[in-house]
Chains A and B, each alone.
Chain A
Amino acid sequence: MNENIIKIDSVRFYWSKKSNFKIFIQNLEIKKGEKVLLLGESGSGKTTLLSLLCGFLNPLSGTISINGNEINKLSSKSKDEYRADNIGIIFQQFNLLPYAGVIDNILLPLYFSKVRSNSIINPQETAVQLCRQLRLPYDVINYKADSLSVGQQQRVAVARALIGNPSLIIADEPTSSIDSAAQQIFLDLMFEQIYKNESTLLMVSHDKSLSSRFDRLIDINEIITREN
């Protein structure tokens, strides 16, 4: 379990030549199976870092490796495929396609990833099972995504990120839109599943109090240098 799942080396990025938002990341390594909390205020470059990791953005220089593959060298098509195969993403809010059913939302990544869909024998059943494990209402399969509460929607997002067992789960402040009581339940359920799947978790938050649940805490200001 000592293998790095994420390895960032001397990455420099800026949006455009005129922009004064320039960041430099000297080094970031996350091992397989680690649960890491990335702390930082808004505007600190968290989302940019996640976008780089997911292959939405390309660094100007340096290398980003996921599972030993340098994703910054991949074509944009392969990057999309790579993301679909290896990364489960949970957004802050509005994770689901509001017009689609809960199960369709959960099954969505399988449509884009052969690897993940081949790993499941009965996707429909797996999705329902995940709903059970995440304590979603029993008849949730009949619901449209927008009829769920925000907390329930976030749990569906977890199920979607986990289906097909991708090696890395990236969560961008998944609890920020739910109240604190529901937060604890949500985190309990999410961790339970992530441990069961032995996935690696990189979660971004500005809430230090969550740190006890994680293996490691990284302050974003320690890894990102802002350049002008």
Chain B
Amino acid sequence: MLLKLSINSLYARLLTVGMTVLAISFSLMLYMSVEKLRTSAYTSFTDTISQTDLIVGARASSVQLMLYSVFRIGNATNNITWESYQDILNKDEIDWAVPISLGDSHKGFRVMGTTEEFFTRYKYRGGQSINIKKGYLFDDLYDVVLGAGVAEKLQYDVNTPLIVSHGLQSFSDHDDQPFKVSGILEKTGTPVDNTVIVSLAAIEAIHVDWSTGAKIPGQETPIEEIRKMDLSPKNITAALLGVKSKLTIFNLQRWINNYPEEAMTAILPGAALQELWRVVGVVENLLLGISVVVIFTTLIGMTAIMFSSLSERRREMAIWRAMGASPLTIVGLLMLEAIFISLLSIILSLVLLFISLNVLQPWIDYNYGILVNIEMLSIRDVYVFALFIFASMLISLLPALRAYWFSINDGMTIKI
């Protein structure tokens, strides 16, 4: 009966209560979306590369090696020689290896030389493979495969011709050796989307007439001749490695790091990504902090509304008291109301969140490469909700105590 009347009373104040519920649910939704985006960004980020056991490059910090080899940000400090790479390949522990050669670009997008094995070995989001959307992988020496982002931003299609520029910001082009798009990859949400991929041999081919970063004057080898040359690489920038048994990873890593003939670094991608996230992830805490403040603000708003409704409900309190309700019952009624409002807000916010996530998920994935998980509530969410209800109970004590004071002092007088 008390519950029913409490609901009736709230229903009678539908507009104010509705607005309060709406305000609270929006702030709760804000909090939850930030939280969802935060965890999803983290998973997406740390899932940029998976199932690769080690990444090898020239001696550098793990974050730096990660940045240039996977995210293609910044430059390699040095290359590693093909001989060292072969030495690594000859180790028993090695299951597979994919060499990567970086350094050139096309209209601001990095060009990466690699082998066809890259497309089967590079995994993201917990084991997802790269798929080709259009065309085919390398067939000819001058074939390129484009990441989805490159194709979209440059409006390239299969068979579009393109020229690779030397270096990252140089004005000298490898215009003597034009390429042609052979395939376009599907969107992955990883840096692969923004990469122009060619074969290792192609990287060698365009540098036939180059020496130490500059074109040798007067030398121009015809394409037909280049095609006949031995184009096996002399250097690579980095390599992705897979081992036969996970138990051997650390041994292999130590072996590579202590390799006597060349200074190399081998990193565990997972650990390096986590380390990198600690740098990038500061913003997430800020966002989280802001949304907690928003929730708190709306709670204060709810209290303000309860306070202002108290004066008009003073006669209602007097009726309850006359019927034999104790002042504590009055306090209970108001707290019940607060709990009800917060429960309604939680439900509404979940509905809003679910709808908006469903609508926005493809868009976020497409534009930011973050796959937002739409899943059931986590234990953490339930804790937050419980905490929220507790906080609203606590804060509703203020108007409730005022009502208590009214009901003790008003007695038979009904103040309007």
Contacts and interface: CB of A to CB of B under 8 A. Distances in A.
A172 B323 CA distance: 15
B11 A99 contact: yes
B373 interface: no
Nearest to B11: A99
A89 B410 CA distance: 15
Interface stretch (B1-9, B105-113, B225-233, B281-289): B1-9
B211 interface: no
Contact of A109 (B11, B323, B413): B323
B209 interface: no
Interface in A57-113: 57, 76-77, 80-81, 83-85, 89, 91-100, 104, 107-109, 111-113
A54 to B, nearest CB: 6
Nearest to B324: A84
A112 B413 contact: no
Nearest to A113: B324
Contacts of B4: 104
A50 B321 CA distance: 14
Nearest to B4: A104
B19 interface: no
B326 interface: yes
A159 B381 CA distance: 49
Nearest to B5: A100
A56 interface: yes
B324 A109 contact: yes
B325 A56 contact: no
A16 to B, nearest CB: 11
A124 interface: no
Contacts of A50: 412
B316 interface: yes
Interface residues of A toward B: which range?
Answer: 20 to 34
Interface residues of B, number: 25
A57 B411 contact: yes
B411 A104 contact: no
B315 interface: yes
A4 to B, nearest CB: 21
Nearest to A57: B411
A20 interface: no
B411 A80 contact: no
Nearest to B10: A99
B319 interface: yes
Nearest to A84: B324
A97 B326 contact: no
Contacts of B414: 91-94
A91 B8 contact: no
Given A91-B318, A104-B8, 12 more contacts: A56-B410, A56-B412, A77-B326, A80-B325, A81-B324, A84-B324, A91-B414, A97-B8, A97-B9, A111-B1, A112-B324, A172-B412
14 contacts: A47-B411, A47-B413, A56-B411, A77-B326, A80-B326, A91-B318, A92-B414, A94-B315, A97-B319, A109-B323, A111-B1, A112-B324, A112-B325, A113-B324
